[in-house]
Chain A
């Protein structure tokens, strides 16, 4: 069964550094998302992306965050200057349609900012 792939599985970075989290969505999917889960907290929506532009973003997704689909297969989340509070599990998801298709999630990238 096709799946969403995320790399790396774990990333450690120092405060102030830039990180890029990578995702390969399911190949025929058209809608892409990033979510995050801080340890012990709810899964939170960050951003949705369709047709090469952001369709919705949360208040968490400030100017430090950006997303890109640089080619036909990858979907990336960049954090320009990481903060301690950015430490979390970041999940990429994709769906065939925005509604009524289910979202398919990757296994996540655990980001640790020291």
Chain B
């Protein structure tokens, strides 16, 4: 059974720092991995999607990497800003129905 774990559970950094969020999954047979952002009381906003054949994806200050064989992904946020404060969720797709298995998230606080 696929399990997704995110470390750390919470992170507080000063504005301007570069940071890395970690995601691990137990079954390397995945179709893709998706990173989401969740603001309090809101839905999930898709940030980056990495296909199983890809190693990384970039969008602006965000870079996500995937090492399928070791069951790991990282989300790198460059030059963090207070507006980046949110919970970041990692999710993997292990079936061709689009079902996602989520981690518990990392809650990020960027202090001005």
Residues of A whose CB lies within 8 Å of any CB of B are 4, 6, 31, 33, 35, 41-45, 48, 50, 55-56, 58, 91, 93, 95, 98-108
Contacts and interface: CB of A to CB of B under 8 A. Distances in A.
A56 B97 CA distance: 7
B31 A56 contact: no
B46 interface: yes
Interface string B21-54: 0000000000110101000001111100101000
B60 to A, nearest CB: 16
Interface in B71-102: 89, 91, 93, 95-102
B63 interface: no
Contacts of A45: 99-101
B102 A43 contact: yes
Contacts of A44: 102
Secondary structure call for the A interface: strand
Contact of A102 (B31, B34, B42): B34
B100 A99 contact: no
A48 B101 CA distance: 13
A62 to B, nearest CB: 17
A21 to B, nearest CB: 13
Contact of B98 (A43, A98, A108): A98
A43 B103 CA distance: 8
Nearest to A99: B31
Residue of A50, A55, A102, A108 ringed by the most chain B CB atoms within 10 A: A102
Contacts of A95: 98
A104 B34 CA distance: 11
Nearest to B97: A56
A48 B97 contact: yes
